[in-house]
Chain A
Amino acid sequence: MRRRSPPLSPGPCAAGDAPNRRSGHAREELRRRLRGLIERSRVMIFSKSYCPHSTRVKELFSSLGVECNVLELDQVDDGAKVQEVLSEITNQKTVPNVFVNKVHVGGCDQTLQAYQSGLLQKLLQEDSAYDYDLIIVGGGSGGLSCAKEAAILGKKVMVLDFVVPSPQGTSWGLGGTCVNVGCIPKKLMHQAALLGQALCDSRKFGWEYNQQVKHNWETMTKAIQNHISSLNWGYRLSLREKAVAYVNSYGEFVEHHKIKATNKKGQETYYTAAQFVIATGERPRYLGIQGDKEYCITSDDLFSLPYCPGKTLVVGASYVALECAGFLAGFGLDVTVMVRSILLRGFDQEMAEKVGSYMEQHGVKFLRKFIPVMIQQLEKGSPGKLKVLAKSTEGTETIEGVYNTVLLAIGRDSCTRKMGLEKIGVKINEKSGKIPVNDVEQTSVPYVYAVGDVSEGKPELTPVAIQSGKLLARRLFGASLEKCDYINVPTTVFTPLEYGCCGLAEEKAIEVYKKENLEIYHTLFWPLEWTVAGRENNTCYAKIICNKLDHDRVIGFHILGPNAGEVTQGFAAAMKCGLTKQLLDDTIGIHPTCGEVGNRRF
């Protein structure tokens, strides 16, 4: 139904505003009443007596011989309020607003569509005879947080998680990318590389040892994998404690509300649920050239590689590529990064170039504007020897190089194409494979939601997935209205010199606000710890981007330096609270830290 409902009284409170307690209370009361109506009725229609679309829906159900509970909003006193709360619950502002067996079907068009596709009949039959209230496909950050929260709210929940082994045969346990092949092992290897730097520094600070310190890949990897195993175990335990059913099987939709779970042995089991959450995440992309799947590894393999990768070519310029290249070089390995076009696409390009040039000064080689065209194995072994043929993106030039390891980090693809989404009508973006969702994480099929890296247009970050999964569960099963706030999400790239940011990149800010409306403050700085260590001056850098049209509000924060993640977090919180340049100037620094750079130097 496209028609806009009449103007509503002021909508839900804007971010940052304190809800008036009394009206908040009344609204909660109304919300409970509506939930009651929805839960008690086989078919619940919120309607308006004069609305032709509502009439069509009512006629449809009566032709099916189904009794409906109808609330005519134009005939009750608090109709407008009801409509408002409904729009918060369903994200649909218009009538009719149809629920069948507690499931939000939608308006007139969606109801008729559901009737044509058979979904409506199915919903009418089900009568809530599902095995579970919620089945979550994918046991990563988003899926697990949603599962735990739903279980806390008393729902019967199942998690299906299955790791398809990488082309190199690497597989892992419960917890998803972050824990197994992402943030956690990455940050630990980054820490290992930082310790190498700390060892060099420590001599300048009076610690005495003469031996050449070597790095042992196996020792490190074993320690990191042990930690990861303990986390996998922890996740299983916490699911068990919360009575969430965990099934180590691959999930594939077979029909509405029904999913097939296939385990390692190929055994199939079927489960049904009232609602579903897709949280299957992404996996590394391959080049699609000769030899890539046979001989190259990806971040799926690197962190548990049983041998030191040796001389390594990293293909790609994503943060994954630069982080991996950074720590490998930190262990003393010969590392080359092959970049097709720009570094860290999507990030502030001035910062990205600085990240790259610091790496270059610290031994990482960059091959810009080349792409690999063929990978050949010269020798088997651990590691073996690979010949890489690459061609220029600008001309006909080709180059050849020999490496022990080729690590592909050219991007990631969503795991959405082999899970039967087409069978139930969940739309995906055909190009990216991502699932479009509305601002309550709902897909094109009302009872199916998506969180984490599979959802389209959302930052691909663990904390975002956790937050959106948790809030989704609270909205579905709790009395919560809170939507996930995707504005000003901070992040940090753990390259040798860490890069933390929040808000807009300079390019983006110029695009949105125009250059003349921005004031950009920036400064180089020299961390105190670097002085005595004899590390370079004029390398660490910070900048803030302010919107002159809005009280010099800080709309972008960027810092390149040690502990950038720790520094950026608080700035992100401050930006949530509307940080301006004036407030930044008024806040006293903590001396001597890197964080004070914002207060002292701009």
Chain B
Amino acid sequence: MAAMAVALRGLGGRFRWRTQAVAGGVRGAARGAAAAQLGRKVAVVDYVEPSPQGTRWGLGGTCVNVGCIPKKLMHQAALLGGLIQDAPHYGWEVAQPVPHDWRKMAEAVQNHVKSLNWGHRVQLQDRKVKYFNIKASFVDEHTVCGVAKGGKEILLSADHIIIATGGRPRYPTHIEGALEYGITSDDIFWLKESPGKTLVVGASYVALECAGFLTGIGLDTTVMIRSIPLRGFDQQMSSMVIEHMASHGTQFLRGCAPSRVRRLPDGHLQVTWEDCTTGKEDTGTFDTVLWAIGRVPDTRSLNLEKAGVDTSPDTQKILVDSREGTSVPHIYAIGDVVEGRPELTPTAIMAGRLLVQRLFGGSSDLMDYDNVPTTVFTPLEYGCVGLSEEEAVARHGQEHVEVYHAHYKPLEFTVAGRDASQCYVKMVCLREPPQLVLGLHFLGPNAGEVTQGLALGIKCGASYAQVMRTVGIHPTCSEEVVKLRISKRSGLDPTVTGC
């Protein structure tokens, strides 16, 4: 999506502003609105380049349209499927199995997203932010240009320009048929019909989340992973996420890479892949192939070189300093388009807000990118904040790290007869008293809700002792965190018994 927030300068095309910002997406909107509140003249330029499959959407960026929001809602649909299966154990007389209707879900989700698009537009209007639905690119370091629907060229100039164009899913264009027959997360949430039997290629959280909810609503789903799942996340937790998915119906093809996609005469897609260790080829047929192998920043169509904004030659992401400033003093970049930042909506929002407060509000507060919590909404949710065990060991050395861990059984699982083998929590601490908490990892229901408050604790410099002094809330899953007594080093059994 090409989205920019521009603070216009008063020259340029047909529009005259004293200041202005360029953006789009959640961050753009946040920043635009914030800047406008600070009395600045702001324009937001946002344009969604249709996906190769022709999917397009409204204002709000990835999170609202093709990310967090529809993802969590479809995840919720899948969770509800699990709850329907629990219900008879709790006395609800519901005949099983209950079928799922994709169209109904998708329509409800899409309607909600559209209402959010509308909400963003209204918000911009209320705050007198000018919104242009055009694809803009730089003309010079103070001017961007785009072509409106009627073919009219629009030039916008500004004192400050903020680039927040985000990223789009990567297509493996070297694979025959990938572009023609595959879809990505840009499309899946907007499908009118059920994707049917699906092959998800990739091991990112996007891949696992999509495969998780597809399985959960009853679709035959396979995930193909070439190397490790959830790169960058704690690997013990990642493998437990996969283990849980595998035991709940998602099929995995590990160590495989696709080589070709063909459409069969009956309309099915035939995928050919290679087992990376044996070199053996294999094929399978699917209704849908979903690529989730990563994302590329949306910088290429911006003509950044005309403004002199530097990007990383490897990733094409924009290089910025701690003030979010690019190589050009009055041009800034925030969100997923920036090199080395966590690709998360709340970080983008906060970075945008702080940036505008620095630019126009006399603030000097910098964004703190440490200890950013996040949650992977796989069927068993994985929430984390701070360092992974590997990272902690790499930074501090094995002998200086103490890991406390526990398996636990959520109370609700007992009566429902659910398997809790992968419900697990671990806290990574420094070994030296007072044992500062370096990272927290939680695998279980409502992991996002559990992790949030603990992230606050870590922000406050929590020590292991302080967390242990916190009284639990009974009976919840989160109380397991304040009951962590067993260290990995002790070698004791981390299986929790009783309450």
Candidates B80, B109, B456, B462; contact of A202 at CB < 8 Å: B80
- Encode contact with A along B400-422: 1 for CB under 8 Å, 0 otherwise: 00000000000110110000000
Whether B157 sits at the interface, judged by CB under 8 Å, is no
A201 and B80 within 8 A (CB): yes
Q: CB within 8 Å of B: which of A566-584?
A: 566-574, 576-580, 583-584
Whether B379 sits at the interface, judged by CB under 8 Å, is no
- Encode contact with A along B373-384: 1 for CB under 8 Å, 0 otherwise: 111000000010
Q: Kindly list chain B residues whose C-beta atoms are within 8 Å of the C-beta of A205.
A: 73, 76-77, 80, 104-105, 108
B460 and A528 within 8 A (CB): no
Report if A489-B104 is in contact (Cβ < 8 Å); known contacts: A570-B453, A574-B456, A593-B375: no
Q: Kindly list chain A residues whose C-beta atoms are within 8 Å of the C-beta of B471.
A: 459, 461, 463-464, 467, 485, 489-490, 572
Report if A208-B99 is in contact (Cβ < 8 Å); known contacts: A231-B499, A238-B497: yes
Q: CB within 8 Å of A: which of B410-460?
A: 411-412, 414-415, 433-434, 446, 448-457, 459-460
Candidates A215, A566, A589, A593; contact of B478 at CB < 8 Å: A566
Query: B45-53, B137-145, B265-273, B339-347: which lies at the A interface?
Result: B339-347
A390 to B455, CA, bound (A): 50
A188 to B474, CA, bound (A): 12
Q: CB within 8 Å of A: which of B459-494?
A: 459-463, 466-467, 469-479, 481-482
B346 and A528 within 8 A (CB): no
B498 and A238 within 8 A (CB): yes
- Encode contact with B along A510-532: 1 for CB under 8 Å, 0 otherwise: 00000000000000000011011
A223 to B374, CA, bound (A): 36
Whether B307 sits at the interface, judged by CB under 8 Å, is no
B498 and A572 within 8 A (CB): no
Q: Kindly list chain B residues whose C-beta atoms are within 8 Å of the C-beta of A461.
A: 471, 474
Tally of contact residues, A, Cβ under 8 A: 93
Candidates A187, A195, A211; contact of B95 at CB < 8 Å: A211
Q: Kindly list chain B residues whose C-beta atoms are within 8 Å of the C-beta of A572.
A: 453, 470-471, 473
Q: Kindly list chain A residues whose C-beta atoms are within 8 Å of the C-beta of B147.
A: none
B449 and A576 within 8 A (CB): no
Q: CB within 8 Å of B: which of A226-246?
A: 227, 231, 234-235, 238
Q: Kindly list chain A residues whose C-beta atoms are within 8 Å of the C-beta of B83.
A: 195, 198-199, 202
- Encode contact with A along B217-249: 1 for CB under 8 Å, 0 otherwise: 100000000000000000000000000000000
A28 to B374, CA, bound (A): 42
Q: Which residue of chain B has the shortest Cβ distance to A234 in the bound complex?
A: B498
Whether A462 sits at the interface, judged by CB under 8 Å, is yes
Query: B86-94, B185-193, B250-258: which lies at the A interface?
Result: B86-94
Candidates A21, A179, A213, A531; contact of B93 at CB < 8 Å: A213
B77 and A573 within 8 A (CB): no
How far, in Å, is B64 (CB) from chain A's closest CB?
A: 10
Report if A188-B412 is in contact (Cβ < 8 Å); known contacts: A179-B499, A572-B470, A591-B63: yes
A220 and B90 within 8 A (CB): yes
Candidates B73, B104, B375, B474; contact of A590 at CB < 8 Å: B375
Whether A191 sits at the interface, judged by CB under 8 Å, is yes
Query: A256-264, A283-291, A430-438, A594-602: which lies at the B interface?
Result: A594-602
How far, in Å, is B377 (CB) from chain A's closest CB?
A: 9
A195 and B108 within 8 A (CB): no
How far, in Å, is B273 (CB) from chain A's closest CB?
A: 31
Whether B372 sits at the interface, judged by CB under 8 Å, is yes
Report if A592-B101 is in contact (Cβ < 8 Å); known contacts: A195-B90, A574-B454, A583-B460: no
- Do most interface residues of chain A lie in helix, strand or loop, or is the interface mixed? helix
How far, in Å, is B356 (CB) from chain A's closest CB?
A: 15
A447 to B229, CA, bound (A): 57
A184 and B452 within 8 A (CB): no
B92 and A215 within 8 A (CB): yes
Whether B127 sits at the interface, judged by CB under 8 Å, is no
- Encode contact with A along B98-123: 1 for CB under 8 Å, 0 otherwise: 11111111101100100000000000
Report if A589-B460 is in contact (Cβ < 8 Å); known contacts: A196-B92, A199-B84, A461-B474: no
Q: Kindly list chain B residues whose C-beta atoms are within 8 Å of the C-beta of A220.
A: 90-91
Q: Kindly list chain A residues whose C-beta atoms are within 8 Å of the C-beta of B99.
A: 207-208
B346 and A586 within 8 A (CB): no
Q: Kindly list chain A residues whose C-beta atoms are within 8 Å of the C-beta of B474.
A: 178, 183, 461-463
Q: Kindly list chain B residues whose C-beta atoms are within 8 Å of the C-beta of A125.
A: none
A579 and B456 within 8 A (CB): yes
A231 to B417, CA, bound (A): 15
The range of chain B's interface size is: 35 or more
Whether B172 sits at the interface, judged by CB under 8 Å, is no
Whether A423 sits at the interface, judged by CB under 8 Å, is no
B104 and A583 within 8 A (CB): no
Whether B72 sits at the interface, judged by CB under 8 Å, is yes
A21 and B100 within 8 A (CB): no
Report if A571-B92 is in contact (Cβ < 8 Å); known contacts: A191-B412, A198-B80, A577-B462: no
Whether A500 sits at the interface, judged by CB under 8 Å, is yes
Q: Kindly list chain B residues whose C-beta atoms are within 8 Å of the C-beta of A196.
A: 87, 92
Q: Kindly list chain A residues whose C-beta atoms are within 8 Å of the C-beta of B81.
A: 202, 207
A588 and B373 within 8 A (CB): yes
Q: Kindly list chain B residues whose C-beta atoms are within 8 Å of the C-beta of A598.
A: 452-453, 456
Q: Which residue of chain B has the shortest Cβ distance to A189 in the bound complex?
A: B90
Q: Kindly list chain B residues whose C-beta atoms are within 8 Å of the C-beta of A184.
A: 411, 475, 499
A565 and B497 within 8 A (CB): no
Report if A587-B456 is in contact (Cβ < 8 Å); known contacts: A202-B81, A569-B450: yes
A584 and B469 within 8 A (CB): no
B466 and A207 within 8 A (CB): no
A206 and B102 within 8 A (CB): yes
B93 and A215 within 8 A (CB): yes
How far, in Å, is B213 (CB) from chain A's closest CB?
A: 11
- Encode contact with B along A77-101: 1 for CB under 8 Å, 0 otherwise: 0000000000000000000000000
A238 to B499, CA, bound (A): 12
A184 to B80, CA, bound (A): 23
B69 and A583 within 8 A (CB): no
A223 and B415 within 8 A (CB): yes
A600 and B346 within 8 A (CB): yes
Q: CB within 8 Å of A: which of B250-286?
A: none
Whether A563 sits at the interface, judged by CB under 8 Å, is yes
Q: Kindly list chain A residues whose C-beta atoms are within 8 Å of the C-beta of B154.
A: none
A591 to B373, CA, bound (A): 10
- Encode contact with B along A314-344: 1 for CB under 8 Å, 0 otherwise: 0000000000000000010000000000000
B100 and A208 within 8 A (CB): yes
B373 and A211 within 8 A (CB): no
A586 and B459 within 8 A (CB): yes
Write 29 A-B pairs (CB below 8 A) sorted by A numbering. Answer: A184-B411, A198-B80, A198-B84, A206-B217, A208-B101, A208-B104, A213-B87, A215-B93, A216-B92, A218-B91, A238-B497, A461-B471, A461-B474, A463-B473, A489-B471, A565-B473, A569-B450, A569-B454, A569-B479, A570-B453, A570-B478, A573-B462, A576-B469, A577-B462, A587-B373, A587-B459, A589-B452, A590-B452, A593-B449
Q: Across chains A and B, which 8 residue pairs bring their CB atoms closest together, nearest first?
A: A570-B453, A595-B452, A206-B105, A220-B91, A569-B478, A577-B460, A574-B456, A593-B448
